[in-house]
Amino acid sequence: MKVPQVTGKLREVTAAYARDPTVIIERSYRAITQSDPTYAGLPSSTKGDFLESIRFSAVLWCKTLLTGEYPSDHDMETFRNVGRRRVHQGIELASLLRAYRVGSKELWAIYLEFSSEHHDVKDELLSTVSPYLLDHFDEMAQAIATAYMEEQYEQSRWKDALRYELCNLVFGATGDVDEFNRVSETIGIDPTIARVAFALNLDVPDTLPSRVETELDRMMLVVARMAKVNAADLVRAMYRGRLIVWMPCIRGDSVLASDRRMGELAARLIANVPEFKQMGVGMMGQGPSGWSGSVEEAVKALEIGERHGGGDGVYRYSDIALNEGARRSDNVLRYLESLVERLSHEPDLLRTLECYLEQFQKHKQTASVLGIHPNTLSYRLERIQEIAGGSLEDPAWLAKLYVATRLRKDSL
């Protein structure tokens, strides 16, 4: 690409702009901020860098016209660094290229205005400088776009490596809170916000690993959109053959409110994402132990849901929390098992008790489900009280019986 070397008045004005490009900077900045709200709302530190990049680009343009030489390797590297910085400043590539296009258009408008006042430079501007203008800014746009995409790729790899490290901290034995906080903050995740783990059974085509990762990335975008969160706030991992997704909670939410909200989100995801077949939902937890505990809860809920089936494919740990809590204490477990142990020798009575509890102690509904006469149901309930030694009018005893029958059912 041949670089023209300007002469006469065109050279004089170009040298003046090279010494003081203020007018180019101000007009370009105004045109860019009016065309793209991304640049209009830049923080002060980024705005300063943006103005400096306009200055550098304008001076570089003037320098090439004055010397007749293509920008040096050092100049090009400085220019590419602009593209790299925009990645970390959160500016999208489309906005970056639009800004460069609008800025170059404004610079050309300034030169055209000068030629309208000095007709003797018009021929040189249009016949000599104009063709080079297109080549110059096209070449520079390609350079800045390439640098941007390379930096974006490296950033993605770096973040993937840190996310992998974060997952190791969650599933590892050390539970290093300080390191967990450091890695979280490095990749832009707030470690003080509690999260809920989703454990998913997926239906993903048998294909190349790279293709699977692409599919998982696509699914995460869908999840983020439906959850109304930034995709970068989601953390995923594969664990025991399931996809784990840690979903951020709303700061200040109670455990009850979070569980309800996450259950509703899980139901929407199962209904709208064909690849999601079944989902276990843990309870909210914070820090490495909280994240890990939520995963174990989600997987446990999913495993029990897989065994029993039914429902909408969403299984919440909160629905089995009492049962699982009882399992962790041998004494409590033995006590609850003893409540229904005497009834195990009379299957009709045990089935009647289970149905009665499932139907919320409604006599007519229970009799209908069992297909028996209401009098028969009353007789059986009296027998249950006699054998088990308690009153079905006692809420505390009913709660114990409910947990005991659920534990027995889960163990079958």
CA distance 385 to 376: 14
Mean pLDDT of all residues in the chain? 86
- pLDDT (tens digit per residue) in 59-110: 999 999 999 999 999 999 998 999 999 887 888 899 999 999 999 999 999 9
Residue 105 phi, psi dihedral angles, 5° rounding: -65, -40
Q: What order do you get walking across the sheet with 242-248 strand by strand?
A: 235-239, 242-248, 195-202, 276-281, 314-316
Calculate the CA 311 to chain-centre distance. 27
Mean pLDDT per block of 10 residues along the chain (412 residues) reads: 87 95 95 90 86 94 93 91 87 91 93 91 90 89 91 76 84 82 86 94 67 82 91 87 92 89 94 92 92 92 82 85 67 69 80 84 88 88 83 78 74 60
Number of H helices, E strands in the chain: 18, 5
Ordered structural domains, the chain, with CATH: 8-155 (1.10.490), 192-319 (3.30.70), 325-411 (1.10.10.2840)
Pick from 15, 28, 89, 16: which is nearest to 57 by CA? 28
Q: Are 120 and 8 in contact (CB under 8 A)?
A: yes
- Give the CA dihedral 322, 324, 329, 334, nearest 10 degrees: 80
Angle, CA of 404, 199 and 224, to the nearest 5°? 135
DSSP secondary structure letter of residue 172:
S
Greatest alpha-carbon pair distance for the chain in Å reads 114
Q: Residue 23 carries which side chain, given as an amino acid letter?
A: V
Query: 């784990």: which residue's tokens?
Result: 244
Amino acid 74: pLDDT: 92
DSSP secondary structure letter of residue 206:
S
Please state, as a whole number, how many other Cβ atoms lie within 10 Å of the Cβ of residue 21. Answer: 21
Amino acid 206: pLDDT: 60
CA distance 302 to 231: 24
DSSP letters for 207-234: --HHHHHHHHHHHHHHHHHHHTS-GGG-
The DSSP bridge partners found for residue 290 are: none
Query: 């705005």: which residue's tokens?
Result: 47
Q: Are 244 and 228 in contact (CB under 8 A)?
A: no
Please state, as a whole number, how many other Cβ atoms lie within 10 Å of the Cβ of residue 320. Answer: 20
SS3 sequence of 300-343: HHHHHHHHHCCCCCEEEHHHCHHHHHHHCCHHHHHHHHHHHHHH
CA distance 366 to 349: 13
The DSSP bridge partners found for residue 314 are: 279
DSSP secondary structure letter of residue 237:
E
Please state, as a whole number, how many other Cβ atoms lie within 10 Å of the Cβ of residue 335. Answer: 13
DSSP secondary structure letter of residue 243:
E
Q: Which two tokens stand for residue 112?
A: 């055209």
SS3 sequence of 100-167: HHHHHHHHHHHHHHHHHHCHHHHHHHHHHHHHHHHHHHHHHHHHHHHHHHHHHHHHHHHHHHHHHHHH
Amino acid 410: pLDDT: 65
Amino acid 405: pLDDT: 77
CA distance 374 to 380: 10
The DSSP bridge partners found for residue 239 are: 242
Pick from 199, 208, 63: which is nearest to 140 by CA? 63
- Altogether, the residues listed in the chain come to a count of 412
Amino acid 328: pLDDT: 64
Q: Which residues contact 259 (CB under 8 A, 6 or more apart)?
A: 196, 281, 283, 284, 316, 318
- pLDDT (tens digit per residue) in 301-349: 898 888 877 778 899 888 877 766 666 666 666 766 777 777 777 888 8
